[in-house]
Structure 1
Amino acid sequence: MENGISIYPGLDNTLEENLDLIQRAQTLGLKRLFTSLHIPETDMETLKRDLGTILHAAHDAGMEIISDISPETMKLLGIKEFKISAFRMLGITTLRLDYGFGLEQIAHMSRHPHGVRLQLNASTITGHILSALVELKTDFSVIDALHNFYPRVGTGLSEEALVRKNVMLHKLGIKVGAFVPSQKGRKRSPLKDGLPTLEDHRPEPSDLAARHLVALGTDYVLLSDSLPTDEEIGALGSLSGDRVTLSAKLLSKNEDLRRFLSQTFTARLDEARDAIRAQESRTHMKEVGITIAPENTTSRPVGAVTLDNVDYGRYMGELQIIKTPQDADHRTNVAAMIDEEELGLLQYITPGRKFSFRFHD
């Protein structure tokens, strides 16, 4: 996944803090930088002074540079006439067309992009808009989409709204991004209440919020607040976009089992009522030649990660995540427990969906 950070020149951070943030993000695996150039509270003199240095540093770090643009942005940058090439010369590689651009203009720009990608506002997209863009022969190969973030408490999107928009965009092959707030770093002014896309994410750890967005089919994630921590940046840098990732506590001390459980699994197509079953676990177990002795054969609450042991005969190696509480069985080990706050992610491990575990002590 090509995830990223956000920087707002002239708002919260010093130039040194912004340059350090770019360096930390690059080191920890992030590849995108989002910036908005029309926030009313911005100190415009500082923005004008720092913007070129920030864009140059992000370019040197190999980052895609996404910028909201509007007619006001052009005035700010001293651009008298809208030309894509002018933004390219500044170092901006993706233009987020927030408002002030007609559909015919967007379609024309897509056919003549001058090396710049275009980005739609995923939160305000409609079926009518997309149909019109198709009719206008828009080249969607140079277009992706990004949801809004919402500074005011109570104004973020619902999960249902985000999924609905994502599905519409994915039908045209358009990848979709969204924002998660920082909980441990510096929140962006002026409200400092976080900048989530989903309202549910306003109080959530950014790592869990990001994995939730991936589970919902979001293609990339951006940290929206001013100065996230290394921990938050690193979590996005290691995020996998092709699976539901669950944080869990490993209960077994067997290192062979830790390595085995650290693989990526696939939920079986014949969905069980009481558990998520991994379709390849028994085959993998035979391939690595591990014998599972009985261990921790206790009752199985919701979120228990279980492995059938040698007493289950040919079922040895069967991996399940429990959805309905079950009694203890001497043939089944409870190998790990999904963290309680992560149990909501289980609903997204649908038949055929890949999943993996991130273990902690």
Structure 2
Amino acid sequence: MKRQLGVSVYPDHSDIEQDKAYLTLAHKYGFSRIFMSMLEVTEGKEAVSQKFKELIFFAKDLGFETILDVAPNIFEELGISYDDLTFFHELGADGIRLDLGFDGNKEAMLTYNPFGVAIELNMSNDVAYLDNILTYQANTPYLYGCHNFYPQEGTALPYDFFESCSKRFKEKGIRTAAFITSQAGNIGPWDINDGLPTLEMHRHLPVEVAAKHLFATNLIDDVIIGNAYASEQELEALSKVNRYQTAFSIEFVAEANPVEKAIVLNAQHYRRGDITHQVIRSTEVRKVYKNEANPAHDNTQEFQVGDIVIGNDSFGKYKNELQVVLEPHSDPRKNKVGHIVEAEHILLPFIHPWSKFKFVEQ
């Protein structure tokens, strides 16, 4: 399933021209999905319709897919019904996110609406909610899953719970999404906004690190910035994230030589299938560079977690093999050539046997 980047907008808390400018900028950097909150509307059906329609069709012209976040009180406020999604179709919405669920049969019926409006479910509950819907023979291409975000510091999901919830959807082939938080944005749905991540561990991380982490889990297809407005620097950083394999950001040591830099940066690395706890081994590079000299340097200290080491000339057949350190150890036959930036150490557990990975210089 192809992976997407998304942004969020809050038309009831922002200026429409600023929203348009933000979407134009996000489009420039390859974003293609919008989470649009409709939880706070109070202006009446006609005014709401006009505002949301203008913004959604502007986004549609840029190629965005827009999912509206709705709740039962909105249907009462606007005098509309879950049994007729005409209103959302006329707004141009590609889907609606159900903040609260029904009995399973209702959700399944909604996926057969004549307009092809997708029905997105709340993923942040570790219960058999999805299984119940699927027993009613839902139209699964029009069934999405998306986690919640959490504006209050300390209230977002722990990783193990997130993983358990996400597997319920991913194992059924449902498109999944989760939120990360901009460190620049200050607009959300409520008056408390300590950031809007799905995972608490992401609340203070750079957006690109949080996105890499979500993609590395192989449980999330779409990564959405929960708050508005992200800075252009953040949008650009996210646009450079490899969505399909982990690309570690690294810093080289001063003595790293051209051969070592080529080994690190130019190869398609993968972890050997017969793994060890001490290091991640990328062994094919030693065959490619077997005739290249690699004198010893930075080889007498204890290597630490996240260090990148390469076999030097004294390492025989293992010369120019690349390894990522998982457990501290010493070995003078290896040169330390660089280090994975500290924040990205959370990605190391996702390099499994045969996992593909790359490096980019910080």
**Is 1:267–1:351's contact at 8 Å kept on the other side of the alignment?**
yes
2: CA distance between counterparts of 1:113 and 1:101? 20
Is residue 2:242 matched to residue 1:240? yes
Is residue 2:311 matched to residue 1:308? yes
1: CA distance between counterparts of 2:87 and 2:187? 32
1: CA distance between counterparts of 2:234 and 2:315? 42
Structure 2 counterparts to residues 245-284 of structure 1, below 5 A: 245-251=247-253, 254-255=257-258, 257-262=260-265, 263-284=267-288
1: CA distance between counterparts of 2:149 and 2:56? 22
Q: Tell me by how many angstroms 1:266 deviates.
A: 1.7
**What SS class does the counterpart of residue 205 from structure 2 fall into?**
coil
Q: Tell me by how many angstroms 1:355 deviates.
A: 2.3
**Is 2:10–2:187's contact at 8 Å kept on the other side of the alignment?**
no
Over 3 Å counting, the alpha-carbon distance change for 1:223 and 1:273 in structure 2 is same
2: CA distance between counterparts of 1:354 and 1:245? 9
Alignment match, 1:27: 28
Query: What amino acid is aligned across from residue 32 of structure 2 in structure 1?
Result: K
Alignment match, 1:204: 205
Over 3 Å counting, the alpha-carbon distance change for 1:90 and 1:101 in structure 2 is farther
**Is 2:280–2:326's contact at 8 Å kept on the other side of the alignment?**
yes
Gaps of 5+ in 2: none
Query: What amino acid is aligned across from residue 336 of structure 1 in structure 2?
Result: G
Q: Tell me by how many angstroms 1:35 deviates.
A: 0.8
Does 248-257 or 1-10 show the bigger shift? Answer: 248-257
Query: What amino acid is aligned across from residue 144 of structure 1 in structure 2?
Result: Y
1:233-280 Cα distance to aligned partner (Å, 9 max, x none): 122222223323322212255455434423442222211121111253
**Is 1:149–1:179's contact at 8 Å kept on the other side of the alignment?**
yes
Alignment match, 1:149: 149
1:21-62 Cα distance to aligned partner (Å, 9 max, x none): 1011000111111011013xx664785553222112210110
Across the aligned residues of Structure 1 and Structure 2, the Cα RMSD in angstroms comes to 2.5
1:113-137 Cα distance to aligned partner (Å, 9 max, x none): 533222111112522x233223211
2: CA distance between counterparts of 1:214 and 1:81? 33
Alignment match, 1:124: 125
Q: Tell me by how many angstroms 1:75 deviates.
A: 4.6
**Is 2:126–2:164's contact at 8 Å kept on the other side of the alignment?**
no
1: CA distance between counterparts of 2:334 and 2:137? 57
Equivalent in 322, 325, 343 of residue 325 of structure 2? 322
2: CA distance between counterparts of 1:265 and 1:342? 17
1: CA distance between counterparts of 2:15 and 2:292? 55
2: CA distance between counterparts of 1:158 and 1:325? 27
2: CA distance between counterparts of 1:121 and 1:86? 22
1: CA distance between counterparts of 2:61 and 2:111? 26
Over 3 Å counting, the alpha-carbon distance change for 1:173 and 1:85 in structure 2 is same
**What SS class does the counterpart of residue 119 from structure 2 fall into?**
strand
Query: What amino acid is aligned across from residue 335 of structure 1 in structure 2?
Result: V
Q: Tell me by how many angstroms 1:302 deviates.
A: 1.7
Alignment match, 1:162: 162
Q: Tell me by how many angstroms 1:152 deviates.
A: 1.9
1:201-236 Cα distance to aligned partner (Å, 9 max, x none): 222222222222222332221001111111221222
Output the TM-score relative to the length of structure 2: 0.88
Equivalent in 225, 228, 237 of residue 226 of structure 1? 228
**Is 2:260–2:310's contact at 8 Å kept on the other side of the alignment?**
no
Output the TM-score relative to the length of structure 1: 0.88
**Is 1:275–1:322's contact at 8 Å kept on the other side of the alignment?**
yes
Structure 2 counterparts to residues 183-194 of structure 1, below 5 A: 183-188=183-188, 189-194=190-195
Over 3 Å counting, the alpha-carbon distance change for 1:125 and 1:221 in structure 2 is same
**Is 2:122–2:148's contact at 8 Å kept on the other side of the alignment?**
yes
Gaps of 5+ in 1: none
Alignment match, 1:356: 358
Alignment match, 2:348: 346
**What SS class does the counterpart of residue 35 from structure 1 fall into?**
strand
**What SS class does the counterpart of residue 246 from structure 1 fall into?**
strand
**Is 1:308–1:315's contact at 8 Å kept on the other side of the alignment?**
yes
Q: Tell me by how many angstroms 1:7 deviates.
A: 0.2
1: CA distance between counterparts of 2:209 and 2:35? 21
2: CA distance between counterparts of 1:146 and 1:253? 43
**Is 2:116–2:142's contact at 8 Å kept on the other side of the alignment?**
no
**Is 1:242–1:354's contact at 8 Å kept on the other side of the alignment?**
no
1: CA distance between counterparts of 2:79 and 2:263? 58
2: CA distance between counterparts of 1:259 and 1:228? 34
1: CA distance between counterparts of 2:196 and 2:345? 24
Over 3 Å counting, the alpha-carbon distance change for 1:78 and 1:53 in structure 2 is farther
Over 3 Å counting, the alpha-carbon distance change for 1:275 and 1:253 in structure 2 is closer
Query: What amino acid is aligned across from residue 220 of structure 1 in structure 2?
Result: D
Give the percent of matched residue pairs that are identical in Structure 1 and Structure 2.
29
2: CA distance between counterparts of 1:139 and 1:125? 22
**What SS class does the counterpart of residue 111 from structure 2 fall into?**
helix
